[in-house]
Amino acid sequence: MWKNSSLCCVLALAILCLTSLICSQEIGSPGEPQNLKCIMHNLHKMICTWDVSSKGRYGQTDFCYTTSHLPPPVCIKTREKRVEIPVSESSITVSITTNSIYGAAFGTKKFAIHKKDISFVPLTPHILSLTPDFSTSTLNLKWSDNGSVFPYGLDAFWQIEILRKETMEKVTQVTYHSKLTHENTILSWNWTSDMPLECTSHYAKIRCYINVTDFVGHKDWSDWSPVEKVLGKDTEPNGSGVFPQDTVVAVGSDVTICCVHAEDQQIKRMTYGPEIYPLIHLSSRSSAIRVINASASDTSGTNVVCTLSQDEMDGTVLFVGYAPDTPQNLSCETSNFLIIKCTWKPGRPSGLYGKRRTKYSLLERISGKNVSCEVNEMNRERVCGFPVLADQKTYSFTLGVSNPIGQTESSLLVDLTQRVHPKTPEKLTVSGNSSTNVHLHWYINGSFTEIRLLCQIEISSGHSEQKLHNVSMPGGKFSTYTAQLNALHPYTKYQFRVRCSAADHFWRWSDWSRVEEHTTLEAPPARGPDVWRERSPSGSSLKIFWKPLTLSEANGKIVSHEVSCYLLDTLLEYKEVTEPSNSTEIKLGKNDCVISVVAKNHAGSSPPSKITSVELPSDNVKTERAVALGNGIYISWSSYPNVTCGYIVKWCRSSGSEPCSVDWQKFPSNTTDAVIKSALFRPGVRYNFLLYGCKSSGYQLLKNITGYMKELPPKRAPNFTVEETSSDSILVKWEDIPVEDCQGFLEGYRLSFAKGEKDALKPRLSESGNPELKVKNITDLTKKSLRILDLQGKTSYQLDLQAYTAGGVSPPNSLYVVTKEDSVGLIIAILIPVAVVVLLGVVASIFCYRKREWIKDTFYPEIPNPENSKALQFQKNICEGNKTLKTLEMNPCTPNSVEVVETQSAAPKIEDTEMMSPAADTTVPEDGSDSENENHVVVSYCPPIIEEEISNPSMDEPVGSSQVVYIDIQSMYQPQIKAEEEPEIDLVTTAGYKPQMQLPISALKIESRSATEEESDKTAGYRPQANTNAWNMDTPDSPGSVESTNENASFGSPCSINSRQFLIPPKDDEDSPKPTNTGWSFTHFFQNKPND
Amino acid sequence: MLNVAGEISGDSWGIFAFLCAALCNLPAVPALNGTDELGTGQSIQKTYDLTRYLEHQLRTLAGTYLNYLGPPFNEPDFNPPRLAWAERVPSATVDFDLWRGLTDNARLAANYRAYSRLLCYLRGLDGQAGTAELRHSLGHFCSSLQGLVVSIAGVMSSLGYPLPAGTAAAAAGPPAPAGAPASPNDFLKKMDDFWLLKELQTWLWRSAKDFNRLKKKVPPAVVTLRLEAQGF
């Protein structure tokens, strides 16, 4: 802009020069005037200027001009090169003569000035004032348009420039348009700075352009006015602070905040809220920050802190908020025709508090009355009151809302009579001295004389639903209102409450008043009680039952019932039964009468209920089953033609500890079915219903019906026992289930059985999934036993018996039964083996008998020949065989049972006698018995069986004859026994027994002693028939412990000579085996054998 | 200024304070001298307890109020210079040794003066706080502080010290608007509030120490003597 304007100036100047060149007819001689220029500042006069080319001094100039319509020339003498002449309509001829200081003419020049050659440049405007408003950062510029010199209605354009800072930076340039009014007018222009005016100095200048429409020449902008300035705080010697101070701006604004400080200070930082902002340098004493799009500040505003050097600090608070929201839902109403209460929702909070908060005022346009509203900030809904004006029904409200950022309003036109919201009715009272009517009174605070009120009374009682009763009444002035309520029920506790509204133009109900209670008075019962009667089983008395009246029928508290019995208008009996009894009994004998029952309360008696006692005989009364239906029991009957006055279904609980409570229900004659419902009905309980028909002459029992409200599974299974068991069948018997346990109509039994032991942990049969489970379903209820066939003998069976109804299956009763054994089979099984054995015995006996000679020869020859003896052969063979084949024959050592059989008849052998010794004699008798008894010595060398064999002959034969020889083997060899056994052994050793002869031990000393063996054979006095090798070898196998066997075998515990091998004398003592040999293993022994 | 204000508006509160002081002194009347020692001791103990309670209460209140003032006032390391405007708040930043060197009477009087003036400013805060919740808290604290001022007056009386001249009515009376000229702008007002809370904290802390010390060394004989000297 700056550049543009200077360019314009240059251009204008050039044009001016050009025109003057054109205008002046330059002669070019020295001292001659030239470059005549004429400029108009207003439309009346123009200023003509010229140059003089001569540099010499000149005196006066004669300026003469003539216009076309003013023939005599006008001459003006001047010493300047400038004259002011009036503006002529036509062209002007000018003659300028310059004279020397002495009066001589230098030169004369003539110019012709045409209209178009004249320029129009307005006078430079002057700023009258530049006034700052620091609080709003606004500059106000005032100047005069100088319009008096111009004709009316010219357009004037004013160019204003605002500059800032010491460097005069252009901030803005605006063009302001005005119309000239042929008067001097003061023009004013406001500019709001985006930066507080305190921050730095601001400057303003102005120029103008007047659009003179009928001017044909050149028109131009005026010169710029002198600069007018507003100094910032940074120019004041003690000026400091943060600006703007305590300003309110709208959310989203851009704000510039500056900090002005002393010359010797520096700004360390500037913070806006918690954030540090970059500084914008304004001057040596002022810097600013720019906050773009400011967000809403906290309750106490946003702090801007300017931290200076030397720990100084300054700041300001910026309040950023919203302009007030337009009030929503503005609504005005009156509750008492004294005050109009207007409410509205404020909408979005402004975010401004305290003195900057949003303020409300209520203006009523018709009356022009204005009230300011004190609103509670905490309340979301705002309320403002306006007084009701006399004789004014319609109100035009405008709610004005304003805060420092903006303002808004909301309007509402109301007819007050249509906006009545009465206050809550107070002081509600109920009065009444009747059983059906009451009066209600209440008070409403307010003046409603102009309208009618509609009040609603809510009537509620414990046993009926709420009712609303509307009453319309003329409004009063702070008055009490009354309403009457009719058709209430006697002896009923009612709760009343009231609310009201305007009747003609409903607007809103008031709140409900508090509840008031009232109980109406009693009235006689509305009807007689429902009656039934029953004759006692004996027939002498009649029991009369009646049902209590409902609350609505009783009309009060029933105190008693009057029961009277009439026989053709003759009172037979009269009774008054007090509450709460609902039955009585009268002695009637065999008579019949009409019974009348009347209920009485404090207010009176009910109409009588009558029933005859006559019971017609009935035959062929059938019993049927009823069907459960929903929560009742459905019974039906066929229509009985003689029944004229209805049916009666009477029932009673079929079982239970308490006496049967009679209940009944009456049905009209055309009914043939009914669903009997009772809260007392329980599922699983059997009820018996009796259907009576009412005939003119009396009541007749028509039918018995039993039923359940709901059938349930029986409570338990029938008790059952096993009557009989056989090997393949079981007879089971069970008892009936009591009716109360059935809980339904019994449909059958289920007997399940399967093999099974009694076991507490076993599941029920039905649940076990036993594949062998068999189930028998008994639907014949008369059947009370069942035989289960095809069972296995001597087997445990589990039996489960369950009963079932339509409601389900009872829990099972279980029994465990073991079937009997099959005796025939057992007998056969025993008899057959016995018979076979006997047969075999017989056959064997016969065979033995037939072949006895052969047997004798074979087994018991007269003269036993060892060679021939099969038994011995057998042994020998074995032993021989062993010699070669066996090393570890573990057979019981039969070879040990070599028997020396002596016949008494035979002469004693020499060897035998030789062997006998006196010492031996003494010991002999002991042998037979002690050989075994004294085991500790003899150990067990001799197998019992052998001893037996031996002992028998010894007993048979005389002691002396038997050749029993003891050999103390231990005396032969150093015994190798356990330490504790030693003394005994010694004892034995020292005992009287001595070997009868020296036996070469070599026979026992097995190791490679074949030669010795032979030698010993020769030298020995006695030679057993058996080969010594045989027993030597076999000893290890003899029964007994290894150790003992060992001893027996080789080192000889004392042993009866009745046995055999040790009869062979061992070697000399010195040759006896070393103890080491004893421990020497048999394996060794046998291993060596083959080497022999 | 405060004194003037107090004189202007020290009506019923002044009477109340006087009555309190009189009541506190009642046990010290020679005829009732048996309970004198106990009464003074209890009164100091109660003042001490109240000071500790106020210290605790102020911690909560200061947190809330500084948050209300917004950053940087609620920043823990914010330590602004005491601007000239804030100088009106009585400072507790007296040298420790100097303070200890004062007599009990002087210290109590200084406490009394300080709380009276602090209370004045505090009531000013109450009316301006932006939120109802804060106003409620401030109101509650003011009541407690009022109690402390009365309590200190009671202790002084029971010890036989005269109340600082002219402050009694000001302390007990309602806030005097003239005594607390409005700050030139909101920021300086916030600074004032900040310093007020800070000084209150320091005063309470130091008062607690003072009362604790006083509690230990109450010489009953001196009390009686002084009271007698005052003509009781």
pLDDT, one tens digit per residue, over A270-320 is: 999 989 999 999 888 899 999 999 999 888 889 999 998 888 888 999 999
% helix / strand / coil in chain B, to the nearest 5?
75, 0, 25
Would the pLDDT of A836 be above 90? yes
CB contact under 8 A, A301 and B186: yes
CA–CA distance, A928 with A931 (Å, rounded to integer): 6
Residue A444: count of CB within 10 angstroms of its CB: 26
Q: How close is the nearest chain B Cα to the Cα of A271, in Å?
A: 9
Handedness of CA A956, A957, A960, A962 (dihedral sign): negative
Cα–Cα distance, A643 to A1031 (Å, whole number): 124
The rounded distance, in Å, linking the Cα atoms of A838 and A115 is 183
Report CB contact under 8 Å: B70, A315.
Answer: no
How many CB pairs (< 8 A) connect A and B? 59
**How distant is the Cα of A397 from the closest Cα of chain B, in angstroms?**
30
Query: Rounded to an integer, what is the distance from CA A969 to the centroid of its chain?
Result: 99
Whether B131 has a pLDDT exceeding 80, the answer reads: no
Q: Give the tens place of pLDDT for each residue, A880-932.
A: 444 444 444 455 545 554 555 554 444 444 343 334 434 434 333 334 444 34
CA A998 – CA A468 distance, rounded (Å): 147
Beta carbons of A354 and B128 less than 8 Å apart: yes
| DSSP-based helix, strand, coil % in chain A, nearest 5 | 20, 40, 40
Tell me the shortest Cα–Cα distance from A331 to chain B, in angstroms. Answer: 27
Q: By the 8 A CB rule, do B130 and A321 touch?
A: no
Per-residue model confidence as pLDDT tens digits over A146-176:
888 888 888 899 999 999 988 888 999 999 9
Confidence of residue A811 (pLDDT cuts 50, 70, 90): confident
* A444 pLDDT above the threshold of 80: yes
pLDDT at position B64 is: 87
Which of A271, A305, A316 is the closest to B185 by Cβ?
A: A316
pLDDT for residue A1031 is more than 60: no
Q: Cβ contacts of residue A1075 below 8 Å, gap of 6+? A: A974, A975, A976
Mean of the pLDDT values across residues A1033-1038? 41
Taken in order A673, A675, A678, A681, is the CA torsion positive or negative? Answer: positive
What's the pLDDT score for residue B92?
Answer: 65
> A101 CB contacts (<8 Å, ≥6 apart)?
A57, A58, A59
How far apart, in Å, are the Cα atoms of B129 and each of A301, B64, B139?
Answer: 12, 11, 11
Band of pLDDT at residue A61, cut at 50, 70 and 90: confident
pLDDT for A1002 beyond 60: no
Helices (H) and strands (E) in chain B, counts: 9, 0
Find chain B residues with C-beta within 8 A of A301's C-beta.
70, 186
Mean pLDDT for the stretch of residues A753-768: 67
Residue A104 CB partners (closer than 8 Å, separation 6+): none
> pLDDT band for position B113 (50/70/90)?
confident
Decide if A327 contacts A346 (C-beta within 8 A): yes
In residues, how long is chain B? 232
Best-predicted range by mean pLDDT among A600-604, A708-712, A985-989? Answer: A600-604
What would the two tokens of residue B46 be? 């109660």
Sorting pLDDT into bands at 50, 70 and 90, what band is A767?
low
**What is the pLDDT confidence band of residue A132, given thresholds at 50, 70 and 90?**
very high
pLDDT for the residue numbered A677: 83
Q: Sorting pLDDT into bands at 50, 70 and 90, what band is A764?
A: low
- Out of A271, A311, A317, the one facing B81 most closely (by C-beta) is A311
* pLDDT for the residue A723: 84
| Least confident piece of the model among A47-61, A241-255, A442-456, A1008-1022 | A1008-1022
Q: CA-CA distance, A257 to A316, in Å (whole number)?
A: 9
Count of helix runs (H) and strand runs (E) in chain A: 18, 64
Interface residues of A toward B, Cβ cutoff 8 Å, are 242, 245-246, 271, 273-274, 297-305, 311-317, 353-354, 377-378
CB-closest option in A302, A311, A313 to B70: A302
pLDDT at A1030 over 50: no
DSSP assignment, residue A921?
H
What is the Cα A677 distance to its own chain's centre?
A: 42
Average per-residue pLDDT for chain A: 76
**Arithmetic mean of pLDDT, A569-598:** 85
Amino acid A422: pLDDT: 92
Q: Which chain B positions have a beta carbon within 8 Å of A353's beta carbon?
A: 130-131
Give A957's contacts (C-beta < 8 A, 6+ positions apart): A904
| Binary contact (B187, A303; C-beta < 8 A) | yes
**Bigger pLDDT: A128 or B126?**
A128
B134-149 pLDDT, tens digit per residue, is 888 888 888 888 888 8
Residue A953 has pLDDT above 80, yes or no: no
Pairwise CB contact (< 8 Å): A273 & B131: no
Residue A1027 has pLDDT above 80, yes or no: no
Task: Give CA–CA dist B91/A623, Å, rounded.
Answer: 109
A628: left (phi over 0), alpha (psi -120 to 50) or beta: beta
Task: Answer yes or no: is pLDDT of A346 > 80.
Answer: yes
Other Cβ atoms less than 10 A from the Cβ of A642: the count is 13
Q: What confidence category does residue B223 fall into, taking pLDDT thresholds of 50, 70 and 90? A: very low
Decide: helix, strand or coil at residue A388: coil
A607-662 pLDDT tens trace: 998 888 888 888 788 888 888 888 888 888 888 888 888 999 888 755 555 566 78
What is the DSSP track for A503-554? Answer: SSS---PPPPPPPEEEEPPP---SSPPPEEEEE-TTSSEEEEEEPPPPHHHH
Strand partners, A721: A733
Q: Please give the pLDDT value at position A867.
A: 62
What pLDDT shows up at residue A970?
42
CA dihedral of residues A161, A165, A168, A173 (deg, nearest 10): -20
Determine which helix (DSSP H) or strand (DSSP E) holds A829, and give its type and residue range.
Answer: helix A823-850
Alpha-carbon dihedral B55, B57, B58, B60, rounded to 10 degrees:
130
User: How high is the ipTM of this complex?
Assistant: 0.74
Rounded Cα gap, residues B79 and B144, in angstroms: 27
Residue A812: predicted pLDDT: 85
Of A239-243, A811-815, A988-992, B149-153, where does mean pLDDT reach its minimum? A988-992
Q: Which residues of B touch A198 (CB under 8 A)?
A: none
- Chain A residues in contact with B191 by the CB 8 A cut-off are 315
CA-derived radius of gyration, chain B: 18
pLDDT given for residue A23 in this prediction: 42
User: A9, A21 in Cβ contact below 8 A?
Assistant: no
Give pLDDT, residue A1: 41
pLDDT given at position A312: 84
Predicted pLDDT of residue A819: 83
pLDDT, tens digit, for every residue of A1061-1079?
444 444 444 444 443 343 3
Question: In whole angstroms, what is the distance from residue A888 CA to residue A963 CA?
Answer: 33
Contact A317 B187 (CB under 8 A): yes
Q: Percentage of chain A with pLDDT > 90?
A: 22
Contact A353 B131 (CB under 8 A): yes
CA of B92, closest CA in chain A: separation in Å? 21
Please give the residue of chain B at the shortest CA–CA distance from A351: B130
Check if the beta carbon of residue A398 is closer than 8 Å to that of residue A386: no
Averaged pLDDT for residues A468-484: 92
Q: Confidence class of residue A823 from pLDDT cuts 50, 70 and 90?
A: confident
Residue B232 banded pLDDT, cuts 50, 70, 90: very low
Distances in whole angstroms, Cα of residue A893 to Cα of each of A882, A907, A1031, B56: 12, 31, 9, 113
> Exposed, middle or buried by CB within 10 Å (0-12, 13-18, 19+), for A890?
exposed
